[in-house]
Amino acid sequence: MHPINAIMVTRMLTRNSGLGSEVGSIPFGSVWWFVYAGLSCFFVLFAGIMSGLTLGLMSLGLVDLEILQRSGSPTEKKQAATILPVVQKQHQLLVTLLLCNAAAMEALPIYLDKLFNQYVAIILSVTFVLFFGEVIPQSICTRYGLAVGSNFVCLVRVLMVLCYPIAYPIGKILDCVLGHNEALFRRAQLKALVSIHSQEEGKGGELTHDETTIISGALDLTEKTAEEAMTPIESTFSLDVNSKLDWEAMGKVLARGHSRVPVYSGNSRNIIGLLLVKSLLTVRPETETPVSAVSIRRIPRYATL
């Protein structure tokens, strides 16, 4: 049972045991019976709205709203812009919604006591509060929190004004003690988010593997050294300046898929220049043209101190 429901049941039993004949004292069908029944329904619905808004609004992060405000559909942009000023006061908003929810829960037993027997009142209150005050509102607001929050934002503003004397000081204390949620993602969180998109490529994800690889590489750029980015010379494909561009050599160049191929003389570590693959378009493999006969770009060298 929900904690608030348990407290409400306990207080109803305590109150009923002391009131005796006052329980269900209003005759059924009278004007006051319908007034009290209407107020009971109002408190159930009001508590449900507060419970749903607590889950719906507090689950909307500031970053999510900023993203929707900039890149969402026209409707989402409007809804996010409406909700953002309210959600920015996170702790004051939380205290306001919880305070209103608790007030409605506390007021409900007072009116149910006048309408029904204590056991009937307990069964009805727990049932209605559980389904109409907790399960249904929270289920709706979990899925449609943005739309529901934007529609009830005026009510929330009014409640924040009414509860200001209590909600504002408590909210400030919570701000000082707990601080605010981080507004932006850390680098590791962004990398994890990109990685999730990469894994979901075939399941509706909008980012391809190449795009996620580029994004991840850009995020790692500030922490990566030149040594980590370079390929060991033993693992590179290169050509001897004295070799010939026959069918075998041309096949290896095409298989590698690089736009430039290092050219060495004698030792594979003695790189003398780069061969542009596009310059091989005019070279015929059957002529076995020497590599030295093709234009080789020299590599700039700087003297070390």
Q: Are 129 and 108 in contact (CB under 8 A)?
A: yes
Predicted pLDDT at 4: 47
The residue ranges of the chain whose pLDDT is under 70 are 1-25, 27-29, 180-185, 199-206, 301-305
Tokens of 75: 């409707």
Predicted pLDDT at 158: 92
Predicted pLDDT at 303: 55
Predicted pLDDT at 125: 73
Total length of the chain: 305
Residue type, 18: G
Chain-centroid distance of CA 20 in Å reads: 53
Predicted pLDDT at 184: 61
Pairing state of beta strands 267-276 and 296-298?
antiparallel
> What does the pLDDT look like over 51-66, one tens digit per residue?
888 888 888 877 778 8
Helix (H, G, I), strand (E, B) or coil at 25: coil
What are the structural domains, with CATH classification, of the chain? 3-178 (no CATH), 231-298 (3.10.580.10)
Terminal alpha carbon distance of the chain: 78
CA proximity to 66, closest of 51, 81, 48: 81
Tokens of 203: 């399941």
Task: Find the helix or strand (DSSP H, E) in which 265 lies.
Answer: strand 260-265
Distance in angstroms (rounded) separating the CA atoms of residues 133 and 137: 6
> What does the pLDDT look like over 59-112, one tens digit per residue?
887 777 888 888 778 888 888 888 888 888 888 999 999 999 888 888 887 777
Helix (H, G, I), strand (E, B) or coil at 157: helix
What pTM was estimated for this model as a whole? 0.58
Predicted pLDDT at 159: 92
